[in-house]
Amino acid sequence: MFYERKSTARPHSPAPNLAHSPARRGIMSAFPVSSRKTPLVLVLLTLFLLAACKPQPQGPGDEYFGNFTPVNPGAESLGAPADWYSDARFYHIWVNAFSDSDGDGIGDIPGIVNRLDYLEDLGINAIWLSPIFETKGQDYPQGNMHGYDTTDHYEINPYFGDTEDVRNLLDQAHSRGIRVIFDFVPNHVSTQHPWFQYSVENSGGYGDWFVWEYEDLDNYYDGPWGQEVWHRASNGRYYYGVFWDGMPDLNYENPEVRESMASVVTHWLNFGFDGIRVDAVKYVYEQDTDDNPRTAPIMEDTAATREYFAELREKILDHYGYRGFGKFMVVENWTNTDKLDTYAEFNGRAAAQMSFDFDLGGTIFYSLSGGSPAALSSYLSTRDSYDMPSDFRYGNFLSNHDNVRSRPMTETGDNTETAKMAAAYNILLPGVPFVYYGNEVGMTGAAGDDIDLRQDLNWADVTSQTGDSSSLLEWYRALLTARKNYDELGGGQFTDVSSEASNGNIFAGLWQDAASDTAVLFVGNHNSSGVTPESMNLSGYLSGVGSGVTTIIGSDNGAGFSSGSFTSGTIAGRTVKVYVLGSGSEPVLLAP
């Protein structure tokens, strides 16, 4: 269906800004066409020798990725186990809105370096950077410079800094035990990228790096969410772009596209990044349904797309882990939770180690707005029933840079107490927590126009809330510190014990690590009114936990724990408290 989707291997032609695209040569180019008439014995001998010399999957010559830049972590990479992400506490930075170091009104990488102490003190140990590479958006730096329209994968957006600034950021972050992942955009580039400009001209061998047709197929079908996906180029033909006409989709049927984008990943992971957040994971490959180009193809979640990420995991990411430098990918699979396993594995092969859970945040806000935790309990039970790979984790978040939903303070109608409860569930529930910049100080922003979710962080708010035990910032700091200090949180076994409470407005979550003689319990009151002391029998959920309790977050109103029986003390309305069971002498993190 798609014009010129098939590709034959050939050397790259010189092109501007393509110095990092590795040359490759197809295996058949080494043999003349007349070799098809070679005697059978010679053919068999040739096949035997080729099989015996099959290259190792982690380096150049791979049958799927070709001659990509080899996996080669050096001193720049931070040694880590392959599953380091399981214990991560992420902070999502929208770079051009976070911290401006040079006064030009645009956040930058040196500005992030200047705030690393703040992030470390907040309890953060991992950072996700929004796109940092050169982009068409540089033409309008004061506008919505989102960076997903890449023009060069090897150069840093000059408004943000340069490669030395990135090197310094990685060095400074790693020295604090903070890992950094970058935003990898495999599906598309900008129309200003040299690859696309050469493709429009059908020159330099780039004619089939994108998906082309001779007619406007929007006359026959729409895109995945009803949008136009075919766009007319200056050459009179039509190219496929699932998002908009400024971002044409790459043609991954072309092996040189796979090779070049694999090299982008290994280049920056070798440089020292600790992983990738994969944008728009669903749309990498399209799949024809018949031979009629006017018939709508499958445009999302195709088998070829799923296979691509299994290959990326096996051939690239896992080989960093084998060498003691764990790297991982978290994917933006914008879908319902029952489909999050789509990119966790493919035909029994492991793929993404993490997928963002787009439903969790909405469920949290729904359960809080209705005053009942039943919806949250039901959701967690359903999520827990899915059969996921053992090293897979959910990425928890309340909001991000896209129009998933409004920022928490806007979502809750500027209700700080409800925003605190939402933050507690995001950080304390199973999954790896992601905090979008500014949410910790109550930044507002309504879904609808994504620029409203990408406004500058006001550092005066950080200053005014620091040290104020009633502030949202100190609440976040206490929660993240608890997650940092107690291995049970995230690393142990979680049980929803809400059913043990007599009051239907109570949500209670229990964490225990088999290697520990303590457990962590958090209890939330969804009602606006306080509840009298709750008694919960937890003996059936605990093993080896002695008597004693410390309220590590929240006011201590006479909580008690003995012989498996827990008494909460009074819990004020719209409040979450966090307790350590089995110890009466834990340090208190926050007692407003």
Name the residue among 76, 84, 36, 138 with its Cα closest to residue 393.
84
Task: Look at 9-13, 65-69, 338-342, 397-401 and tell me which has the smallest mean pLDDT.
Answer: 9-13
Q: State mean pLDDT over 515-532.
A: 93
Query: pTM value?
Result: 0.90
The dihedrals phi and psi of 26, each to the nearest 5 degrees, come to -65, 150
Question: Domain for residue 563, yes or no?
Answer: yes
| Beta-sheet pairing, 560-562 with 565-567 | antiparallel
175 φ/ψ sector (left φ>0, alpha ψ -120 to 50, else beta) = alpha
66 φ/ψ sector (left φ>0, alpha ψ -120 to 50, else beta) = left
Which residues neighbour 236 within 8 Å (Cβ) at sequence distance 6 or greater? none
Take residue 336 and report the two structure tokens written for it: 């319902």
Split into its structural domains, the chain has a count of 1
What's the confidence (pLDDT) of residue 141? 79
Name the residue among 539, 552, 542 with its Cα closest to residue 579.
552
Question: Domain for residue 529, yes or no?
Answer: yes
pLDDT in tens, 255-299: 999 999 999 999 999 999 999 999 999 999 999 999 889 999 999
Question: Domain for residue 293, yes or no?
Answer: no
Share of the chain above pLDDT 70, in %: 90
Question: Domain for residue 548, yes or no?
Answer: yes
Take residue 80 and report the two structure tokens written for it: 């880590």
pLDDT in tens, 361-379: 999 999 999 868 999 999 9
Question: Domain for residue 553, yes or no?
Answer: yes
Question: Domain for residue 62, yes or no?
Answer: no
Give the Cα separation of 355 and 179 in Å (integer): 18
What's the confidence (pLDDT) of residue 62? 81
Question: Domain for residue 569, yes or no?
Answer: yes
Contact call for residues 334 and 282 (beta carbons, < 8 A) = yes
Q: What is the CATH number of the domain that holds 577?
A: 2.60.40.1180
Which residues neighbour 47 within 8 Å (Cβ) at sequence distance 6 or greater? none
- The whole domain housing 528 covers 493-581
What's the confidence (pLDDT) of residue 34? 30
Q: State mean pLDDT over 12-39.
A: 32
End-to-end CA separation in angstroms for the chain: 64
Question: Domain for residue 503, yes or no?
Answer: yes
